[in-house]
Structures are given as C-alpha cells and as structure tokens.
Amino acid sequence: MSDDDLPPRLTRLTFHGPLSDARAARVVDRLARTAPRTVLDIGCGWGEVMLRLLEAVPAATGVGLDLNGEDLARGRAAAAARGLDGRVEFAEESGLDAAEHGRGPADVVLCLGASHALTKEEPPAHTAAALAALRRLVAPGGRVVLGEGYWQRPPTRAELAAMWPGAHAGELPGLAGLVDLAVAAGFRPGWVEAADGSEWDDFESGYLADAEEWLAAHPGHPRAEEIRDRTDRHRASYLRGYRGVLGLAYLTLIPVPVPVPVPVPVS
C-alpha cells in the first residue's frame, strides 16, 4: 500500500487557517503600502500570504520557515508557478531557531497561527514570549502580522472537554487581553481584526474535505477505520468544543522605537 492510496493532504485549503480571500487581500494591501523589502514568515506552511505580498511588492524578497516538508514543497511549487521562486526561500527550520540564531530583522514578519513555533513556553505564557521574539525579529518601522488564538467568551466545562487534550480556560486571553500583551511587548496595534464564523466554517470544512470524500469512496479500505476515527474526532472537537468559542485574531502590529537614554550632564 502506498501513500497514493490514502487521502491527499489539505488540497481544499488556500490558507492554513480561518482566513478568507477578502481579508487576506486587505492585509496584503495594508502591508504593501509600507513598501517592505524583506518578508519573514514564521510557521509558513505553504506561505500563501507571503507569496501574495511578494506579488504585490515586486522589490521584496521573502523567507518562509516551517518544519513540514510537504507544505514547504507545496510553497516552492506555488512560487515557481507564479514566477516568484527567485525571490523566496522556503527553509525547513523552526521559528525558535530563527528567533535565537539570527533570522531577521525583516520589514514584515508574518506569524499566522504559529506563535508556538517561537517559544518553549507553555500556555498562557507562550503568547507574551512569542511577542517578545517577534519584537526582536521585526525591523524598525516594519510590521508584524500575528494570527493568534483568544477566547471569544469563557468556555464551558463541556466545551473544554471536547477540545484538544488538556484544554483549560486559563490558557488563552480574551481579545482585549491579547492586544494588551502586544502593547506590553513594545507594539502599537495598527489594525485589530478577527476571523468570523464563515471563515472558521470554511477552514474546518476544507481541513477535513479530502478525508471525508476519500472515506465516502473507500469504506472498506484497510485504513478507513483509522482515518474515519481521526476525522470524526476532529469534527467533534470543532462542533462540540471550540466553534464560536475559540477566536483567531489578526493583529497588524507596529514596533515602538526603544527610547535612547539621554545623558545627564555632570555638573
């Protein structure tokens, strides 16, 4: 049995997250107006937002970092098909390595649903730690776009039990608390927005669509039970757990210059 016998991976998704074409276009337009020369995408997946930004800013170059080789290969193929392969690098590298070993500073830093890649801290401390890393990675006058989770409302015990293993109410802030963390890390929130219900439903449906169609066509396959189990668990986690509870904010952040100390004259 080869991988060709199994469902393809995420072919129905344009973005690896709850993001619509319309919202992506607005984000790219705002970033393009700053005329960036360098773009760094942390946990890039196949780097669709980065590639769209490079198309919008012909002078810019980009680097996308991820640990999933299949996603990186998809990004390289997309870049080549769009004539961008000479201006972008997809590297199998963790965001933590980038933060600690010299990637950046870049004019635009994207971190869309990948703050966990920037720190070893566990929730809830991971968000503040990721923001501190992003502040180091962005160039003066640049922009960070952070896609980060928050609670739209306090989750119930039943909802938490249906979510990911170990989910608890204290691991995420609300939206206002998330923005406060960004300000405390040395940013001003240039734009605050969040994925809506339609974006979430489209993403979750697209995430499972390849497996669902394969299961409908291969009910007797030797691995059907395993794949059906995994798919059903994920769907239940969304519909019974985090749908309408977990939000994803898209924060466009502007770094605040660090004040230079003024020497005190010695009398």
Q: Name 72's Cβ contacts closer than 8 Å, sequence gap at least 6.
A: 44, 46, 64, 66, 90, 91, 92
Has residue 80 been placed in a domain?
A: yes
What the block records as the tokens of 71 is 């996603």
Exposed, middle or buried, 145 (CB in 10 Å: 0-12/13-18/19+)? buried
Has residue 82 been placed in a domain?
A: yes
Has residue 206 been placed in a domain?
A: no
Has residue 266 been placed in a domain?
A: no
Domain that holds residue 128: 14-153+164-196+245-255
Q: How far apart are CA 111 and CA 158, in angstroms?
A: 30
Asked if residues 74 and 14 have their Cβ atoms less than 8 Å apart, the reply is no
Q: How far apart are CA 247 and CA 233, in angstroms?
A: 20
Side chain identity at 153, as an amino acid letter?
Answer: R
Q: How far apart are CA 252 and CA 240, in angstroms?
A: 31
Longest Cα–Cα distance of the chain, Å, equals: 88
Please count the structural domains in the chain.
1
Q: How far apart are CA 250 and CA 69, in angstroms?
A: 26
Residue 65: CATH number of its domain: 3.40.50.150
Summarize pLDDT for 157-188 with one digit per residue, the tens: 999 999 999 999 999 999 999 999 999 999 99
Of 75, 111, 126, 112, nearest to 195 by C-alpha is 112
Provide the residue-wise pLDDT of the chain in tens; the chain has 267 residues. Answer: 445 689 999 999 999 999 999 999 999 999 999 999 999 999 999 999 999 999 999 999 999 999 999 999 999 999 999 999 999 999 999 888 777 767 889 999 999 999 999 999 999 999 999 999 999 999 999 999 999 999 999 999 999 999 999 999 999 999 999 999 999 999 999 999 999 999 999 999 999 999 999 999 999 999 999 999 999 999 999 999 999 999 999 999 999 997 756 566 666
